Every structure is written in C-alpha cells, then in structure tokens.
C-alpha cells in the first residue's frame, strides 16, 4: 500500500494485481484469436459465477446504470406495469429508468434502514398484474440487503419477471440465479466482480430471452437492444469474431482474469469470506458505539456497511482526519441524511488486513473529532470475532 491510499469505498474497490496487469497489457484487436478466446472464457465464467448454466450472459461497455437500463429496456413495453422494491437511492433510480419507457410504475419504499415486507410485496402482486418486478439486492446508498430468493419466488408465483440489481452484490452475496428463478441478474465490473469501472454485466434467463423475442414493439433503446448484442455474445461464446460496437479489450481481458480467480477460489468460499469479514466489521463498529443504517442484522449487506456518525462528530472533521491515515471511505448518498453517515466498502479482493487498517483509521478519526470510547475496542473486537468464525 506504500505510496497510495487504501480505497475502501463501495466501488471502485481494491483490485487484484493480476487483474491490473491484464489492464496494462498491450491492447490487441477485438477480433484477434487471443481476445476472442478471452471474451468467450469470460462469458462462460459468468454463467458459473451467477450459477446460471442455461443463462445468456451479456458484457457491454458501460456502467451499472446501463446494465439496469438494458435489463428492463428489453423486457417492458409502453403500458406495462412494473413493481419496484426500493431500499434507497438506486430503487428510486430504477423507477426513473422504467418511466422513460412509458411503463406504469408502482414503487414500494421502506423507511431508511428497513425493507418492504414480503406480505406487502405479495399484496401488491395480488392486486395488479405486473410484467416485471425489480429489486436492488444491496442498495449502495444504505447497505440494506433484500431477500431476493423469496421476492423472486413471489414474482414467479404471480407470473412476473424478476430483475435483480446486483451491482453491489454479485460475487459478494449469495445468488443462485437459476435455482431461485431470477430472470435477470445484473452488475457492474467495479464492485465485487473486481475489475476497474467500465463494464455492464448481466445474465438473462431463457424466460427473459423468450419474453424479449415475443415483444410486439421495437426496443426503445438502440444501444441496449439485445437484437444488437445477442449475436455478438453468441459468436464469442462459440469463439468466433463478431462486431457491433468495439469492445473495451483490456477491460474484458481483466474481467476474464478476475472471474477465473473467483471461480478457482469457489463462489461459495468467496461469499463466505465476505460474510465473515462483514460480520466482524459490524461487531467492531457496534463495540466502538456506532450504529449502522440497516435496522435488523439480517438486512445488513456483506459488501458494504453504512455507518451513522455519532452525536457531536461532524462529517468534514471525520473525513479529514481519516484521510491522514491514507484510508478513503465514501460519504453518505441518500439526500435526506447525506451528512449523517459514511459508507465503507468491503468486497472483492479486500483482506482482513485492509479491514484492520480501516478500523484503525476510523478509531483515530473519531478520537480526533472528539468522540470518546475505549481506544482499540473496535480492532480487538474485529480480531476476536474473525478468529472465532475461522475456527
């Protein structure tokens, strides 16, 4: 870490050295045999990481918002009904995206730190026929985790397509796309997948592809239209050259590298590591005397933690002192409480050493900002909890 700061925000994250080496390799042609092989491998690995052997992966240059847009642009038509399960900033964004396609949107919002109950969701599905249900698995603005398996089951029960915004969860939280019957699982490269920003990633189920094929109107978004991208993905999966838009060659080679690392570790092992680190970190935060945004433990994400500042500690003071120890965390994102909390990302290649450095910096910044607590309590709690979970 010498010579640079430790990046502990909810994306971009710290990346594996091997991934960064792939990024710095000499850029080749997008139809070079080596790149075709790399792209095809990346697509195959996505199906393994997503646990969707029959799914259709898509890799497109763009952000997580493009992945959100692409998922619904291909599934909905004007006049359709959509149900949005919202736990923060990005649930609201999905509502905004859907409304661009002249869709009738119902949004189920919960108070900050909570999730809409399954009963509330089922009542909504009972009372209106919905084409699609979207859910933000982990809202990056709040650190709140929704229980996607149960929501997907309700969507299936009422014959609605389910779309999981997994931007802050894929490769960090448990997702079994095919087993759980989720129709689209999307993410972005810079989160737990572990690749620098620039790739929109999603896997569509056979049902989702069939729904797209059966639509009566053109997809209203040219760049996002699966008609343009599906032949490209299939060609690369067959290790053949193809072209619609020039792919970001080095990013895709980095994607293959990171997905290979995740697959070799094992997705179940990877997720368990996230759970252990996050659980120990939350206990450490509580021991210091701080509160997190999620009200219930079971609703707290394993990829990031959103933490309220204690009374008397100002955001500017805290972040200034934190930066002195070369650790970067993210400020608040929800407009109504933006200055009242901060966010720590702990996903992908993050290690226990990174977490210890972060906790040490948080304790230092709190002391310098005038907050009183037992010095070292967060660090000792983290190590105690982590050690017990590894036994």
pLDDT tens-digit profile of 332-380? Answer: 999 999 999 999 999 999 999 999 999 999 999 999 999 999 999 999 9
The SS3 of residue 247 is coil
Summarize the confidence of residues 248-253 as an average pLDDT.
Answer: 98
CA nearest 102: which of 67, 58, 68, 72? 72
CA nearest 241: which of 28, 385, 40? 40
pLDDT tens-digit map of 289-298: 999 999 999 9
My answer on whether omega of the bond before 367 falls inside 30° of 0, hence cis, is no
pLDDT tops 70 at residue 129 = yes
Which pLDDT score, from 0 to 100, does residue 4 have? 82
Contact 132, 80 (CB under 8 A): yes
Which pLDDT score, from 0 to 100, does residue 391 have? 61
- Token reading at 111: 């108070």
pLDDT tens-digit map of 163-214: 999 999 999 999 999 999 999 999 999 999 999 999 999 999 999 999 999 9
pLDDT tops 70 at residue 66 = yes
pLDDT tops 60 at residue 1 = no
Q: Could you tell me the pLDDT band of residue 387, with boundaries at 50, 70 and 90?
A: confident
Summarize the confidence of residues 59-68 as an average pLDDT.
Answer: 98
CA nearest 188: which of 345, 40, 365, 81? 345
pLDDT tops 60 at residue 48 = yes
Distance between CA atoms of residues 63 and 60, nearest Å? 9
Could you count the other beta carbons within 10 Å of the beta carbon of residue 230? 18
- Token reading at 309: 């500042």
Give the dihedral sign, CA 345/349/352/356. Answer: negative
pLDDT tops 60 at residue 2 = no
* Pairing status of strand 330-331 against strand 341-345: antiparallel
pLDDT tops 90 at residue 331 = yes
Domains and CATH numbers, the chain: 17-265 (3.40.640.10), 267-390 (3.90.1150.10)
Cα distance between the two ends of the chain: 29
């Amino acid at each position: 870490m010498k010579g640079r700061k430790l990046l502990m925000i909810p994306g971009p994250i710290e990346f594996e050295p091997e991934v960064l080496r792939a990024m710095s390799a000499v850029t080749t042609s997008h139809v070079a045999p080596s790149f075709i092989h790399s792209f095809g491998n990346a697509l195959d690995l996505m199906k393994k990481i997503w646990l969707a052997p029959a799914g259709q992966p898509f890799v497109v240059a763009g952000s997580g918002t493009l992945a959100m847009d692409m998922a619904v642009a291909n599934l909905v038509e004007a006049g359709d009904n959509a149900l949005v399960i919202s736990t923060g900033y990005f649930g609201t964004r999905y509502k905004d995206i859907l409304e661009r396609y002249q869709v009738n949107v119902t949004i189920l919002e919960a108070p900050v730190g909570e999730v809409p109950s399954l009963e509330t969701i089922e009542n909504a599905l009972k009372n209106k026929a919905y084409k699609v249900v979207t859910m933000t698995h982990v809202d990056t603005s709040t650190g709140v985790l929704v229980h996607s398996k149960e929501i997907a089951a309700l969507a299936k029960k009422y014959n609605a397509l389910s779309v999981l915004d997994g931007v802050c969860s894929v490769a960090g939280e448990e997702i079994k796309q095919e087993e759980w019957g989720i129709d689209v699982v999307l993410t972005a490269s810079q989160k737990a997948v572990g690749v620098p920003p620039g790739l929109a990633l999603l896997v569509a189920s056979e049902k989702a592809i069939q729904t797209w094929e059966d639509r009566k109107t053109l997809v209203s978004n040219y760049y996002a239209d699966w008609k343009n991208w599906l032949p490209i993905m299939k060609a690369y999966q067959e290790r053949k050259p193809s072209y619609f838009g020039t792919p970001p060659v080095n990013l895709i080679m980095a994607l293959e590298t990171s997905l290979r690392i995740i697959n070799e570790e094992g997705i179940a092992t990877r997720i368990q590591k996230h759970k252990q680190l996050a659980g120990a970190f939350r206990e450490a935060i509580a021991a210091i005397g701080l509160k997190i945004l999620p009200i219930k433990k079971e609703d707290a994400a394993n990829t990031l933690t959103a933490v309220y500042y204690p009374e008397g500690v100002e955001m500017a003071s805290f972040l200034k002192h934190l930066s002195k120890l070369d650790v970067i965390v993210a400020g608040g994102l929800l407009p109504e409480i933006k200055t009242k909390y901060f966010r720590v990302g702990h996903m992908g290649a993050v290690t226990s050493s990174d977490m210890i450095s972060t906790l040490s910096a948080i304790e230092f910044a709190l002391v310098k900002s005038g907050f009183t607590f037992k010095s070292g309590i967060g660090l000792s709690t983290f190590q105690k909890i982590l050690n017990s979970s590894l036994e």
